[in-house]
Chains A and B, each alone.
Chain A
């Protein structure tokens, strides 16, 4: 990922077969430039990753360079949800509610191994990755990740934001799981697929 040269975002590629004209693409560029450089984070810090997140926001690493110095402790004014730390099942409805309260456009970063996959906490109380509750744009590995790691994740999110197109209607769609859809995987199948993973495969499960 880090070896590929970054695309030059001062250049807007124009594909004649698409319906985007010069005005729309320039407007896209302007809007995305503004959004990418003023992502207001909603910190959802539950564990030690939150300490690294605070270090990232503090003066040495200075999140303000990315236009993120304004922590939005209200989800209504936030753009990006940064989940730093493990999420127990008791917090699952809370983080889902916070995500639903955030207005579009919104993005999510799963910071650290716990938020991304549950980490070593493969037990009865911890959600195995917040992507089972909310859609996640960037996963930052590490336990906990260093501030440089989080900033790299943030820059990847900025790249993603800069590539968005206004006429792409799918990126803002909020989908609830629809059992009639062909993409829907029923819960027992998900369990079956996820069974080989995790570090305590010899644990027994009963029922359901």
Chain B
């Protein structure tokens, strides 16, 4: 990765064997042709792969949570896989209260034109923690922040894990969890009071604004706010 930069054209690792890109038709709900990476993962990480299945033409690989970082790193670095694009990091909570929360990574290999869905299950009776893939894909930064904001899953190793959609002082919990009421936990009046109490001009820290050098040139009130470490002015 670090030695030189090479432009990847979609499918260029397949050479002449690359099929022309086409919209898949008549894709079965379950079953169908499995992604070659599924078998490769079984060979490489036999003890970490729980099961592999194909849903709507996309291969799902269920892996053990403690090995996620190794597996993603191998998928990214190995010359036969080259998953160089992370489409999405998200989570699923099922209506069944006993069912574990799933964290999902959507990986795309541009050179091989492959799509892989990596899933891991986090039981609810333990702290929801999983390794961050930020060290491999820098684009995981905001995806993991959103996942943390909505589900409360902590990504260990993330450089700046805080809320991204809701404001940072949001106290009502994690909105996409099944135990979260649709209207929120607080009354409308209380929600409005808390929202209006936020200072819209003080949402960013000094590091985010990259203004540490120009600190002396800032207005007095802003300097005072930033010096106090204020972020949202509540």
Interface residues of A (CB under 8 A from B): 89-90, 92-94, 96-97, 122-125, 127-128, 132-133, 187-188, 190-191, 194, 198, 200, 203-208
User: Are B188 and A207 in contact, CB atoms less than 8 angstroms apart?
Assistant: no
Task: State the Cβ distance, A127 to closest chain B Cβ, in Å.
Answer: 7
Task: State the Cβ distance, A121 to closest chain B Cβ, in Å.
Answer: 10
Bound-state CA distance A92–B172 (Å) is 17
Query: CB < 8 Å: which of A92, A123, A198 contacts B195?
Result: A92
Task: State the Cβ distance, B75 to closest chain A Cβ, in Å.
Answer: 35
User: Are B192 and A133 in contact, CB atoms less than 8 angstroms apart?
Assistant: yes
User: Closest 7 A-B residue pairs measured CB to CB?
Assistant: A187-B189, A124-B184, A89-B195, A92-B195, A93-B200, A191-B187, A94-B200
Bound-state CA distance A149–B194 (Å) is 34
Bound-state CA distance A191–B183 (Å) is 12
User: Are A93 and B182 in contact, CB atoms less than 8 angstroms apart?
Assistant: no
**A-chain residues with CB within 8 Å of residue B194 when the two chains form the complex:** 89
User: Are A97 and B187 in contact, CB atoms less than 8 angstroms apart?
Assistant: no
Bound-state CA distance A48–B13 (Å) is 43
Bound-state CA distance A198–B182 (Å) is 12
**A-chain residues with CB within 8 Å of residue B184 when the two chains form the complex:** 123-125, 205
Interface residues of B in 184-223 (CB under 8 A from A): 184-200
Query: CB < 8 Å: which of B187, B191, B196 contacts A93?
Result: B196
Interface residues of B (CB under 8 A from A): 165-167, 172, 175, 180-200
Q: Can you list 5 residue pairs at the A/B interface with Cβ under 8 Å?
A: A92-B192, A94-B200, A124-B180, A190-B188, A205-B181
Bound-state CA distance A125–B189 (Å) is 13
Task: State the Cβ distance, B64 to closest chain A Cβ, in Å.
Answer: 34
Among the interface residues A122, A123, A125, A127, which one has the most CB atoms of the partner chain B within 10 A?
Answer: A125
Task: State the Cβ distance, B165 to closest chain A Cβ, in Å.
Answer: 8
Task: Known pairs A124-B184, A127-B192, A188-B189; list 12 more (Cβ under 8 Å).
Answer: A89-B194, A90-B195, A93-B195, A93-B197, A123-B183, A124-B183, A132-B192, A187-B193, A190-B188, A194-B188, A204-B181, A208-B186
Bound-state CA distance A125–B176 (Å) is 12
Query: CB < 8 Å: which of B175, B190, B195, B197 contacts A208?
Result: B190
User: Are B167 and A203 in contact, CB atoms less than 8 angstroms apart?
Assistant: no
User: Are B185 and A207 in contact, CB atoms less than 8 angstroms apart?
Assistant: yes
User: Are B200 and A124 in contact, CB atoms less than 8 angstroms apart?
Assistant: no
Task: State the Cβ distance, B195 to closest chain A Cβ, in Å.
Answer: 4
User: Are A203 and B187 in contact, CB atoms less than 8 angstroms apart?
Assistant: no
Bound-state CA distance A124–B191 (Å) is 8
Bound-state CA distance A124–B185 (Å) is 8
Task: State the Cβ distance, B158 to closest chain A Cβ, in Å.
Answer: 22
Task: State the Cβ distance, B18 to closest chain A Cβ, in Å.
Answer: 41
User: Are B183 and A122 in contact, CB atoms less than 8 angstroms apart?
Assistant: yes
User: Are A203 and B188 in contact, CB atoms less than 8 angstroms apart?
Assistant: no
User: Are A207 and B189 in contact, CB atoms less than 8 angstroms apart?
Assistant: no
Task: State the Cβ distance, A11 to closest chain B Cβ, in Å.
Answer: 44
> With A124-B172, A203-B181, A204-B181 in contact, do A92 and B187 touch (Cβ < 8 Å)?
no
User: Are A200 and B182 in contact, CB atoms less than 8 angstroms apart?
Assistant: yes
Among the interface residues B181, B192, B195, which one has the most CB atoms of the partner chain A within 10 A?
Answer: B195
**A-chain residues with CB within 8 Å of residue B190 when the two chains form the complex:** 187, 208
Bound-state CA distance A182–B181 (Å) is 34
